[in-house]
Structure 1
């Protein structure tokens, strides 16, 4: 008998879920979230450690409440991601509310590019489907999934919406490809609130150190343009919008103030400028995220206090050598 294969189960869900009634899918995934929370799986425990640092909360009952809401938000994302191929444009539009994006629509229309720094919060796939039609062509990076059919299914759907998807591969030169693609009009949203590799940037937020991906800041610096933090979180829907969305939940895409490229100067390296931009955008992002912490889908270790000290030391040493 073959061992249980989560990837194959995801591929099956990708094919089947879009055909099922919306309410049934929401119910199934919500039950999965509640069961996982009740069983106190490792991801739930790590989520609580992350939420405690993000919010400053030390109350165990409050953390349990937040992590329960967090797991329901997390599984809501998966339910919606699997449903996305079956959503109409009108349904997507009803589920999305965006604030502060108008200037970027104008920038893209004039031939410019917007580099967006996102975290694993809300539903970034739904946001991408909306942005691709309302702001400009979305160009982003996707980590390869196994089996290949699963990755091809996700990639094929996103590309059918007009998005440009660059597979993330070791030694694949994805940054160079991003830089090339950024020469044409569009928006480049990059998930960047976690990076445990040697390229990760250590930033201080709320008295805690977090290892964050440098991609958005490095790309913005290379292009000489600002980086824009964007927070995506869930909101309850009512009335006509709820009926049009066919869901009690929608998302709010919140464009935060731009982070400008730091000035160059004697003794200031490109790495210094990337680190400063990363610190600035992530500080603004987590300040906003702390208002809706239940929508941060971070079930992995991200604060350096939780990381393996030896692995972290090797990553830092490797970074100093390059």
Structure 2
């Protein structure tokens, strides 16, 4: 699909889906999800391969059931994504029910700042909007540069409209900007279950080697902020549940790299626990584990 066509399709979805009655939007999401699931395209096949690692005891029939539920969850995210800017503040406040939010407020009240790290589960945009509106806590995040540039600008404007400060994913520059906000006692939210750079660290994830970004652990270690893993899952519409896990402790000994590796492993363990409980709400349609990467890519990321 050309960059222009991609931008046009996203623009139509943003403009059209939010105008649909909610039952119609849900039904549309299910139809699109089921059609994609039946076609068994690369994304669905990759989702099933990933779920096979998460639920190793599942037989082929169970994996197909999980992947269908996963695609419906994934399309629920997109239907909510396009409609979220039109939701009244009261709706955002009641639709997300997190457990352990005191871990966030305690870290911020102490002045140490908080690094909130999430996997691609349920609707992380809704969780961010809830924090910004219900708790009135500003926070910063990063966004991967997309093509065309106009589409990237759409995503930035969308998330800024929900109350987030969005920084471009530019390596050292974005790391420095996030660190400055944390040193002032602020909050940073990062989706952190898939390494998009060459600086990730290897972790054991569901018993297999994978690479995850070191940024959350490095930020927490360098600034003294609390590293808080978060997992999300869908309940019955319109509700979403969440769990803020306790702060990940920094090891007392070791080099900075060794400490970051240990903290990232603990973060990955929390992610794995949440994903194992709600595998259908983990929207990972890309290669993640080192053994699944194309030949040579794993070496480039070491």
TM range (shorter): over 0.9
Judging changes above 3 Å, is the alpha-carbon distance between structure 1 residues 108 and 256 closer, same or farther for their aligned structure 2 residues?
same
Deviations 1:231-255 (A, max 9, x none): 011011xxxxxxxxxxx23211211
Corresponding residue number in structure 2 for 1:160: 161
Judging changes above 3 Å, is the alpha-carbon distance between structure 1 residues 275 and 148 closer, same or farther for their aligned structure 2 residues?
same
Judging changes above 3 Å, is the alpha-carbon distance between structure 1 residues 219 and 12 closer, same or farther for their aligned structure 2 residues?
same
- For structure 1, which segment, 205-214 or 79-88, has the greater mean C-alpha deviation from structure 2 after superposition? 205-214
Structure 1 position 226, deviation (Å)? 3.1
Structure 1 position 146, deviation (Å)? 2.8
SS of 2:235 mapped into structure 1? strand
Runs (4 or more) in structure 1 with deviation over 3 Å come to 109-112
Taking structure 2 as the reference length, the TM-score comes to 0.93
Judging changes above 3 Å, is the alpha-carbon distance between structure 1 residues 308 and 56 closer, same or farther for their aligned structure 2 residues?
same
Corresponding residue number in structure 1 for 2:201: 201
Structure 1 position 134, deviation (Å)? 3.5
Conserved? CA contact 1:17–1:82, under 8 Å:
yes
Corresponding residue number in structure 2 for 1:88: 88
Corresponding residue number in structure 2 for 1:184: 184
Query: Structure 2 unaligned runs (5+)?
Result: none
Conserved? CA contact 2:77–2:123, under 8 Å:
yes
Structure 1 position 218, deviation (Å)? 0.9
Is 1:293 the counterpart of 2:282 in the alignment?
Answer: no
Corresponding residue number in structure 1 for 2:243: 254
Is 1:302 the counterpart of 2:288 in the alignment?
Answer: yes
Corresponding residue number in structure 2 for 1:311: 297
Judging changes above 3 Å, is the alpha-carbon distance between structure 1 residues 11 and 144 closer, same or farther for their aligned structure 2 residues?
farther
Corresponding residue number in structure 2 for 1:275: 261
The separation in 2 between residues aligned to 1:296 and 1:26, in whole angstroms, is 19
Corresponding residue number in structure 2 for 1:242: none
The separation in 1 between residues aligned to 2:36 and 2:177, in whole angstroms, is 39
The separation in 2 between residues aligned to 1:155 and 1:185, in whole angstroms, is 24
SS of 2:202 mapped into structure 1? strand
- For structure 1, which segment, 150-159 or 8-17, has the greater mean C-alpha deviation from structure 2 after superposition? 150-159
Judging changes above 3 Å, is the alpha-carbon distance between structure 1 residues 249 and 162 closer, same or farther for their aligned structure 2 residues?
closer
- For structure 1, which segment, 9-18 or 27-36, has the greater mean C-alpha deviation from structure 2 after superposition? 9-18
Corresponding residue number in structure 2 for 1:319: none
Deviations 1:152-191 (A, max 9, x none): 233223223432111113x561111111122234321111
- Count of matched residue positions in the alignment of Structure 1 and Structure 2: 300
The separation in 1 between residues aligned to 2:63 and 2:147, in whole angstroms, is 33
Structure 1 position 196, deviation (Å)? 4.6
The separation in 2 between residues aligned to 1:37 and 1:4, in whole angstroms, is 26
CA RMSD of aligned residues (A): 1.8
- For structure 1, which segment, 75-84 or 131-140, has the greater mean C-alpha deviation from structure 2 after superposition? 131-140
